[in-house]
């Protein structure tokens, strides 16, 4: 049973516009939520995280929002750049273990 | 500082053959992990080692064994490979108290025919 879900397998956005990626989870015991970025033939790399006690965390062009009552988080990328084209994984941490979503492939169009 | 390294990068096995995937990290991290990535399924945890000398099953452990050789190294063994184990395998490590930020290796692409 998948505890972390990314319901949009792909997203296409124009360069300079906002990318919004969504993620839902079912386990209320998760205490951190993270986003990872993955390029082809490479391992995932950490992008940004948020503690379950916060509702927003910002790092440059990347902002993660957490809505605990809805068990939903989102990643906003503003402005989107061609180098942002990659697969983005949402993940959630409980007891040393990460649970991952299936990923969203983002394509940034020039 | 190489981070997390994995060998080999690619491997083709016949059904029933065995092999060991190697992973090492030079960041002095306590915890290490093995994942597999399949299309449409994200990364699934196979085994993990919270600290040197301990290992625990993850979400999909069947058909695999692991060894935490020392603090740096964590290997994954397939005793009798099956086509269902065709996948990309990632090793990762984490610094205790970092809030889940894992460092991943480049992956091993395994094909079982």
Residue pLDDT tens, chain B, 113 long: 789 999 999 999 999 999 999 999 999 999 999 999 998 888 999 999 999 989 999 999 999 999 998 999 999 999 999 999 999 999 999 977 777 789 999 999 999 99
CA dist., res. B112 & res. B44, Å (int): 19
User: What is the β-pairing status of strands B102-104 and B31-37?
Assistant: unpaired
> What pLDDT, on a 0 to 100 scale, did the predictor assign at position B100?
78
User: What's the Cα-to-Cα distance from B48 to each of A103, B38, B77, rounded to whole Å?
Assistant: 22, 18, 13
Q: Residues of A with CB below 8 A from B99's CB? A: 32, 34, 49, 51, 93
Q: Residues of B with CB below 8 A from A44's CB? A: 43, 90, 104
The confidence band for A96, taking pLDDT boundaries of 50, 70 and 90, is confident
- Where is B60: in which H helix or E strand? none
Q: Is A50 a residue whose pLDDT tops 90?
A: yes
User: What is the β-pairing status of strands A86-94 and A104-109?
Assistant: antiparallel
List the single residue in B with minimal CA-CA distance to A50.
B99
Q: Residues of B with CB below 8 A from A42's CB? A: 106-107
Q: Which residues of B13-52 are buried (b: 16+ CB within 10 A; e: fewer)?
A: beeeeeeebbbbbeeebbbbbbbbbeeeebbbbbbbbbee
């Amino acid at each position: 049973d998948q505890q972390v879900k990314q319901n949009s397998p792909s997203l296409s956005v124009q360069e300079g516009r906002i990318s919004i990626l969504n993620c839902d989870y079912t386990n209320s015991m998760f205490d951190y939520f993270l986003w990872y970025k993955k390029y082809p033939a490479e391992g995932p790399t950490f992008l940004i995280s948020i503690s379950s006690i916060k509702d927003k965390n910002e790092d440059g062009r990347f902002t993660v929002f957490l809505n605990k009552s809805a068990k939903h988080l989102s990643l906003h990328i503003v402005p989107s750049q061609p180098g942002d084209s990659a697969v983005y994984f949402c993940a959630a941490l409980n007891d040393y273990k990460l649970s991952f979503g299936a990923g969203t492939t983002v394509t940034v169009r020039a | 500082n190489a981070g997390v390294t994995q060998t080999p990068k690619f491997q083709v096995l016949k059904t029933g053959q065995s092999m060991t995937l190697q992973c090492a990290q030079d960041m002095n991290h306590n915890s290490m992990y093995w994942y597999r990535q399949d299309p449409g399924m994200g990364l699934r945890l196979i085994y993990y080692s919270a600290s040197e000398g301990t290992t625990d099953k993850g979400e999909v452990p069947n058909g695999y064994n692991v060894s935490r050789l020392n603090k740096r190294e964590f290997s994954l063994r397939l005793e009798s490979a099956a086509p269902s184990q065709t996948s990309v395998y990632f090793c990762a490590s984490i610094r205790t108290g970092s809030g889940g930020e894992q460092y991943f290796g480049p992956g091993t692409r395994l094909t079982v025919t």
